[in-house]
Amino acid sequence: MKFFIDTANIEEIKSLSETGLIDGVTTNPTLIAKSGNDIKDTIRNICKIIKGPVSAEVTAINSTGMIEEGKILFDIAENVVVKVPLTFEGLIACNKLREIDIPVNVTLCFSSSQALLAAKAGATFISPFIGRLDDIGLDGMNLISEIRTIYDNYDNITTEILAASIRTNNHVINAALQGADVATIPPKILKELFDHPLTKSGLDTFLDDWGKTGQKIV
């Protein structure tokens, strides 16, 4: 499974990119607003750090505006993926952008029927929102499972499942178990994936035992 990070914070992206674990970045208007920076400058700077897909979201609500904004965003860097909402207008924009070879991430997916429509419109990525479904008492992982089953039934579907609205470590693991192609993870959650109490206690023991030997490697 590929790991994207869900942030527009340049310093966080720089730091996490050094692990070699980051395959891409997703942003949205909220994350851009939190950064306090210009959207074009932010996307341009992210694309200098990350060579994989970087999702940049349109803000227009009609297809004509989405297409115009999508072209502008894609011109920023060759690895930009234009993010559009899963609406009737969004799917029109997706189809038209894909016709001119601009990759598209269709976001705000909450049902398998929506995911099927996005795939038929040519979406590069579909972003089901796991956490937001959990918030209203549904199981977001069921949606990942349903989409995986549907997509696997058809060899001509190339849309990748990008698990979004990740809230916990278990969301990441369960998305992988259900066959999501990508998880876009907030930096805080990604850092938590490294941690386990037994890893820390084991390392403490090793270092204590090594200290008793009086040896040095360098």
Predicted confidence (pLDDT) per residue in 157-171, tens digit: 999 999 999 999 999
How confident is the model at residue 45, as a pLDDT?
Answer: 97
The pair phi, psi for residue 127, each rounded to 5°, is: -115, 90
Does the residue 179 lie in any domain?
yes
Structural domain contains residue 162: yes
Using alpha carbons, select from 167, 63, 136, 169 the residue that is nearest to residue 106: 63
Side-chain half-sphere CA neighbours of 25 within 13 A:
29
Domain count, the chain: 1
Question: What is the rounded average pLDDT of the residues 140-157?
Answer: 98
Task: Print the domain residue range for 11.
Answer: 2-213
Q: Examine the residue annotation and report whether 212 is marked as an active-site residue of this protein.
A: no
Instruction: Tell me, yes or no, whether 198 lies in a domain.
Output: yes
Confidence of residue 182 (pLDDT cuts 50, 70, 90): very high
CATH code of the domain covering residue 40: 3.20.20.70
Q: How far is CA 205 from CA 53, 167, 197, 211, 214, in A?
A: 41, 32, 12, 10, 15
State residue 142's pLDDT score.
97
At residue 181, φ and ψ (nearest 5 deg) are -75, -30
* pLDDT > 90 fraction of the chain, expressed in percent and rounded: 100
Cα distance between residue 112 and residue 128, in whole Å: 9
Q: Given this model, what pLDDT does residue 76 score?
A: 98
pLDDT of res. 151:
98
**Is residue 138 in some structural domain?**
yes
Is 50 a domain residue?
A: yes
Distance CA 218, CA 207 (A): 15
Q: What is the mean pLDDT of the chain?
A: 97
Q: From 76, 72, 108, select the one nearest 90 (Cα to Cα).
A: 108
pLDDT at 47: 97
Average pLDDT rounded to a whole number, residues 80-87 = 98
Structural domain contains residue 11: yes
For residue 147, is it within any domain?
Answer: yes
Distances (CA, A) of 119 to 4, 61, 98: 20, 20, 11
Query: pLDDT band for position 118 (50/70/90)?
Result: very high
Is there a domain that residue 218 lies in? no
From the candidates 14, 34, 51, 83, give the one annotated as an active-site residue: 83
CA 28 to chain CA centroid, Å, is 11
* CB-based contact 163:175 (threshold 8 Å): yes
